[in-house]
Chains A and B, each alone.
Chain A
Amino acid sequence: MRLLADIVLMPLIAFITGLFLVLMYRRVRAKIERRVGPPFFQPVYDIVKLFAKKTQISHGVMHDLSIVLLLGGYITAEIFLPVPGFKGLAEEGDLLTLIYIMMVPMLGLALGVGSCANPNGSIGISRALTAMLAYDVPLAVAIIGATMTYGTTNLVEIVRIQQEGGMATWGIATMPLLAIGGYLAVHGMFGKEPFEIYIAPAEIATGPMVEMSGKYMGALFIMQCFQLYTIGVLYVTLFLGGGENWPLFLIKVAAVVFISVAVTNVYGRYRTDKVVRWMWKWPTGIALLGLALVMAK
């Protein structure tokens, strides 16, 4: 029963937090652009509006299925995340499971876009997969380093280790280079400039989203909430000591997302090949160095 409640509540909390993160993203962006930005409930309005569309275009079964994968993947991921006060399946799953689950939405998206027959979408999705390939390398290095440091892949365990040891045992303190490399990879995972190659409105007209309308688009908006939250929580779990309690936990998640969404506004986007090279050069290099240090310990 408790699990059932968690399965319902954890994604719900994730979604609500995600809405706040989206709002923050848009407000920060507006601020840097010297303007006011959207009202408080804007993310909600957008999603409700999209789901309330009266006509709807679908591109076939695969298209519909992709949405299920997309949201399903993230909802599942939320249950595996260790958050304060909820157990979910965090105990049962581990880091690797989570990483795998987090790939599902992207693959789902690829599936759906493939059925839209829009070249822009196809280019976008191939770029997205390329980008995934690019940031997964430093991320993998960072995760390997982290698991080696903590000696476990169990997320609950990782959180417990850090919380018991206090701030000195936080990943960011014990393995700073891995944390930096990991953060750069996370920035890539957010898909923000300079790594925003698969949306790229001016180049490929928002890529995967080009044919998405109404409820599909709404689903993508929800996915964005989950994405910000999930990635933020993952980083907090690995390097920032997880959540002791909700307020602190949310602050940490928000901080992770904030840095990313703030910095993104002052860069343009790299070309695809440059993203791969950059990801494999800097974050990977830093992370490898960090890994070496960890192994040397």
Chain B
Amino acid sequence: MTDKPLKSHVRPPQDTMPGGAGQGCPAPDAQTRSIWRRIMDDFADHCRARSLFVLHYCTGCGAIELPPTITSRFDMERVGITPMVTPRQADILLITGYLSLKTLKRVILSYEQMQGPKYVLGFGSCTINGGMYWNSYATMKRLDQYIPTDLFIAGCMPRPEAVQQVLLKLIEDIDAGRANAWQDYYRNYDFYLGNQQRLFGAGWNTPTDVIGEARHYGYYGPGTEGEHTRLLAEGGGSAARLAHAEYPSTALTGRIKS
């Protein structure tokens, strides 16, 4: 917690997440694409919506309702949802409730290792405004400050049917091309990084080169770099990236592929 930047982090104005109930998050370039691209994208979205791999990571207590959701009684494979083992293979990151700060680091790491399009679902009160553990020194309070979150679901913890509904809603959003919150991580990386640094100190760093990826994939926005990302460079840039050993996850890292 040393020398944390204590500035209040207001999301930059070039916000790509208009929010609003049911509005989802349409891609910014939705109207400018060619017809052929649109057909292709619609087809891809159609398949994406029907094949979702959930990262097998029990981050918090809500994970206890995942086995029922996945298994026979509520069988989510009916809509193509299966658990997957590593962040590399997964599409959905379920944040099943509270995140201790120690876990939050791993979650951010796992999230960065996932390949876009990727989706984050926040379970229950704890991910929205601190929930049950609002006065605990050990847990984070608002998930969407640290990683872009597609949907929240009310409950403590949400029961399998509720999990089912959030997944169905996500499918609907993907199908309609509205679930693009993940691009916001690239476009407003400075915002997210700033909040992360506030918790983990200015020396916080991850093995993934988010700015480089943003440039490469064309998600670079005015909010990608800022005062917080400068701290990354000051810390020695990529050389200061944390060794995997300190923040283990099943997946390691690799290079950007065109």
Question: Which A residues contact B (CB, under 8 angstroms)?
Answer: 26, 30, 33-39, 41-42, 44-46, 48-50, 52-60, 63, 116-118, 120, 201, 205-206, 209-214, 217
Contacts and interface: CB of A to CB of B under 8 A. Distances in A.
Contacts of B251: 118, 210-211
A98 B177 CA distance: 45
Given A42-B50, A118-B251, A33 B72 contact: yes
Nearest to A29: B77
A214 B113 CA distance: 12
Contacts of B86: 205-206, 209-211
B44 A211 contact: no
B55 to A, nearest CB: 11
Interface in B58-116: 71-73, 75, 77-80, 85-86, 88-89, 91, 113, 115-116
B47 interface: yes
Contacts of A33: 71-72
Contacts of B217: 54-55
Interface string B196-230: 00000000000000000100010000000000000
A57 B216 CA distance: 12
Interface of B: 43-44, 47-48, 50-51, 56, 71-73, 75, 77-80, 85-86, 88-89, 91, 113, 115-117, 213, 217, 250-258
B77 A38 contact: yes
A59 to B, nearest CB: 4
Given A33-B72, A55-B115, A57-B253, A209 B80 contact: no
Q: Which 8 A-B pairs have the closest CB atoms?
A: A58-B257, A213-B88, A52-B44, A48-B47, A45-B51, A56-B257, A35-B72, A35-B75
A116 B252 contact: yes
Contacts of A116: 252, 254
